[in-house]
Amino acid sequence: MRLTAGWITCLSLWCGLAPAGEPLWLVNAHLLDGRNGADAPLVDVRLDGARIAQIRPAMPHAAGLDLRGSYLLPGFVDAHSHIEDPAAARRALMAGVTTTRVLGDAYLKALATRDLIRDGYVQGPQMLVSAGHIRPQLGEPFILSFPQFGQYLASPLQGADHVRAVAAAVVARGADVLKVGASERAGLASTDPRRQELSYEEMRAVVEEAAKSGLYVAAHAHGRSGANAAVRAGVRSIEHGTYLDDETLALMRRQGTYFVPTLAIMSPLGDPRGDSADAIALQIRTRAMMRPLREVVARAHALGIPIAAGTDGTYGEGEGGAVRPAHEVEELVAAGLTPSEAISAATWQAARVLGIEARTGSIAVGLEADLVVVERDPRRDTTTLYEPMLVVSDGRVVLNRFY
């Protein structure tokens, strides 16, 4: 959430413990700043408006909201979600997600939800939105949002100049980030995630078009060749990355490309468990994809490639709705990250992927007061991350379970 001039009155929905304008002290909590620090000092933190104003060693009997020795973390940054509507946005916020990057956006609902949150009409995480997925088969939802590209209902989007025109339209419509299809999707019976979609030249055109407006590109990439072309084209992050080979990983290391593996959605959790052709294909496929993906994460981690947590989840009531950052943290730990590294992947590293680490994703004086409090030390027990005790978004207490 970002505060704007629209916040003149305190909506009842939003009222925290301190009236607007008065500082709020959160006292007596162990601080984990998201940057993989080894110790967790007991601190008091003063919030002033939307910002973190002061951090001091905990003082006995200090006035403020007593966090009773629990653990204070940065709010989660979900680097890859499919949150589209206000209900899903609110669900994510209650799960501790204070910032997210939405990669996709059928019918541009996420774009509208982003603006409603920004303007204070809806409670939710700050959202960076891709406004569609640029790929050869744009699909009807995309075309209905961009009817000037009606020709691609019947024929695929092909050729660097044509792809560039679509990218320019998406930027003009207000996207914060562009998403390209480097390989086909995993979740459809008719697609093969190993098959490359856009070419190097086409993805390069999107990267160049985005850069004109100071934006960057995220690549949906499972297959080896598509991922390699995407990295060479200069995308900022590889999403999924199941079949990344050593050559591409070395290139990512050299170029500083981020890796958002979205492990949790591939686990049985992400399984829709229905009996449609797509659900069956996905159930079979993810059995085969999980092991290579875990091995890629371990190799990327050993190489020092920055890894960020993305759920690929909708936070909705249907398919993909049950995945939370805590699931991804658990999966990253299973793939070889330490719990502290996995928590960093869900906070600071994810903020770095989004390019907003100077504003949020960590806990330091001057940063946005986007915070989560959990009951137990998450370095010893990551399950405590599933149900935050307290969520603060831009200095406002949006969830408080310290009864």
- What is the binding site for Zn ion (CB under 5 A)? 312
The DSSP bridge partners found for residue 221 are 240
Please, which residue, 120 or 187, has the CB nearer to Zn ion? 187
Nearest approach, Cβ of residue 218 and Zn ion (Å): 9
293-296: long-range contacts at Cβ-Cβ below 8 A with a sequence spacing of 24 or more?
293/240, 293/241, 293/242, 293/261, 293/263, 293/266, 294/263, 294/331, 294/334, 294/335, 296/241, 296/242, 296/243, 296/244, 296/249, 296/261
DSSP state, residue 77: E
Q: Which residue has the tokens 């100049």?
A: 161
Nearest approach, Cβ of residue 368 and Zn ion (Å): 25
Please, which residue, 238 or 373, has the CB nearer to Zn ion? 238
Please, which residue, 80 or 352, has the CB nearer to Zn ion? 80
Tell me the residue type at 65. L
Tell me the two tokens of residue 20. Answer: 């607007």
Nearest approach, Cβ of residue 148 and Zn ion (Å): 25
Tell me the two tokens of residue 303. Answer: 């190489």
Tell me the two tokens of residue 64. Answer: 């403020």
Q: For the CA atoms of the chain, what is the radius of gyration? A: 21
Nearest approach, Cβ of residue 260 and Zn ion (Å): 9
Nearest approach, Cβ of residue 48 and Zn ion (Å): 37
Spell out the residues 6+ positions from residue 68 whose beta carbon is closer than 8 angstroms to its own: 28, 402
Nearest approach, Cβ of residue 183 and Zn ion (Å): 13
SS3 229: helix
Please, which residue, 184 or 312, has the CB nearer to Zn ion? 312
Nearest approach, Cβ of residue 185 and Zn ion (Å): 9
Please, which residue, 265 or 329, has the CB nearer to Zn ion? 265
Tell me the two tokens of residue 365. Answer: 């004086």
Residues in the chain: 403
CB 57 within 8 A of CB 43: yes
Q: What does the buried/exposed string (b/e) look like for 310-320 if buried means 16 or more CB atoms within 10 Å of the residue's CB?
A: bbbbbbbeebb
Nearest approach, Cβ of residue 240 and Zn ion (Å): 8
> Could you give the CA distance from residue 331 to residue 161 in angstroms, rounded to a whole number?
40
Please, which residue, 44 or 312, has the CB nearer to Zn ion? 312
Please, which residue, 50 or 227, has the CB nearer to Zn ion? 227
Please, which residue, 314 or 349, has the CB nearer to Zn ion? 314
Please, which residue, 55 or 106, has the CB nearer to Zn ion? 106
> Could you give the CA distance from residue 390 to residue 403 in angstroms, rounded to a whole number?
11
Nearest approach, Cβ of residue 312 and Zn ion (Å): 4
DSSP state, residue 17: S
